Amino acid sequence: MRKILNSLLLAAFIAVILLISRWVGQQAYSWMPVQGTAEAKQVDEIFSFLASIGTFVFLGLTGIIVYSMITCRAPKGDWSHGHPARGSAKVEMLWIVIPTILVLWISFKNLSIYQQLNIQGLPPVVMHMHMVDPADAATVSNDGKPVGEVIDVFAKQWVWSFRYPGNVTSTELHLPVNQPVSLALHAQDVLHGFYVPEFRLKQDMLPGRTITLTLTPERVGKYRLHDSQFSGTYFAVMEANVYVESRQAYSQWLAQAATLEPTIASNQAVTEHTQPTQKILNSGWQTVQPAEPSVVNYSS
C-alpha cells in the first residue's frame, strides 16, 4: 500500500512540475522583444522549449532534495553512512538515455532552424540537408540565389550605411513588410556584427567577404540596429534606425530619397573624436580615428 501511495505521489509531483514547466515556457515568449520577422518565431520556439526543460530539471532536482531532507534525515547522533546507491542499471540507464535524447533533440532543432535562416557566403553546417520546409520558401530561387529586394549593408568604424536598388544610399535601413529581403553584409575595415534584437538574427560581418542574410519582416515599426561585435572606442554609438513599413510607404521613401543630392551624413563618432577631451589623467593611448562620414542621399 505504501509503495502504491509513493508512486501516486511521484506521479502527481511530475504532473505538477510538467504543468508549471509548460507555463514557464509559454511565459518565455514575453521575455523576448517583439517578433519582427518570420525567422524570429522559429528562434523563440526553441527558446521556449529550453525554458520549459530548464524549469522541469530545476523543479525536479529541487523537489528531490527537499523530499530527501524531510524523509531521509538521520537521527541525532547517528554518524553512520547510508547504503551507497551503486550498481543500479535502471538509474544509470535513466540518467544516460534521457539527457542523450534531450541533447540530440535540441541539436536537431537548432540545426533545423539554422538551415532555414538562409545565410549565404558561409560554409553550410550540413550540405544539402533539408529537414523541414524553410520559414519562407520564397526567399530563394531555383538556382539558389536570393529573390526580392537586395540591400547592401556597409559597416565601418563607426557608422552604418545602406545602398538600395537604383544606387540610393542612406544611413537608415528601410524594409518592406511581408516580403523577403536579402541583406548583403560588407565589413569595410574590421569585424562587425549585424544585430536587430526583434529580428532574432545576429550575423558576424567579415572584412573581405560578402555575407547575404535573407529575412522576412512581418511587423511594421521602428527598430534599432546594433553592432554586436566590439569594434573599437566608439562602437557603442554605432547604431542605426530600422523601419519596417508597407510596400507603398517603402516605395515612396525610396523614390523621395532618389531625388536628393548626396551629402555628408552626420557621424557621432567623428563628432566625439574631434571634440577636445577633458581628462584628469592622460594615458597617452592612441585612439583609432573614425572613418570618414558616409556620403548618402538620405541621412537620419
pLDDT at 197: 93
- Extended beta strands in 13-167, E state: 119-120, 149-156, 159-164
User: Do 60 and 160 fall into the same domain?
Assistant: no
Kindly indicate the confidence band of residue 127, based on its pLDDT and cuts at 50, 70 and 90.
very low
For residue 41, the tally of other CB atoms under 10 A from its CB is 13
Weakest mean pLDDT among 87-96, 131-140, 166-175, 266-275: 131-140
User: Do 163 and 292 fall into the same domain?
Assistant: yes
Q: Is the pLDDT of residue 133 over 50?
A: no
Average pLDDT over residues 102-124: 73
pLDDT digits (tens, 9 = 90+) for 216-270: 999 999 999 999 999 888 888 899 999 999 999 999 999 999 998 888 888 888 8
User: Do 163 and 268 fall into the same domain?
Assistant: yes
Q: Give me the domain span that covers residue 107.
A: 2-71+90-116
pLDDT at 187: 94
Kindly indicate the confidence band of residue 195, based on its pLDDT and cuts at 50, 70 and 90.
very high
The whole model's pTM is what?
A: 0.77
Residue 161 lies in a domain: yes
User: Do 245 and 143 fall into the same domain?
Assistant: yes
User: Do 105 and 199 fall into the same domain?
Assistant: no
Residue 248 lies in a domain: yes
Residue 126 lies in a domain: no
pLDDT at 130: 38
pLDDT at 242: 95
Q: Is the pLDDT of residue 38 over 60?
A: yes
Residue 266 lies in a domain: yes
User: Do 66 and 142 fall into the same domain?
Assistant: no
Residue 279 lies in a domain: no
Q: ∠ CA(294), CA(296), CA(300), 5° rounding? A: 90
Strand order in the sheet with 149-156: 119-120, 211-215, 181-187, 149-156, 159-164, 168-170
Residue 167 lies in a domain: yes
Residue 125 lies in a domain: no
Q: What percent of the chain has pLDDT over 70?
A: 84
Q: What percent of the chain has pLDDT over 90?
A: 39
Domain harbouring 171, CATH code: 2.60.40.420
Number of structural domains found in the chain: 2
Q: Which residue has the cell 545602406?
A: 162
Residue 100 lies in a domain: yes
Average pLDDT over residues 105-117: 78
Sequence-distant (≥ 6) Cβ neighbours of residue 220 within 8 angstroms: 177, 244, 245, 246
* Stated length of the chain: 300
Of the spans 72-76, 137-141, 214-218, which averages the highest pLDDT? Answer: 214-218
User: Do 182 and 102 fall into the same domain?
Assistant: no
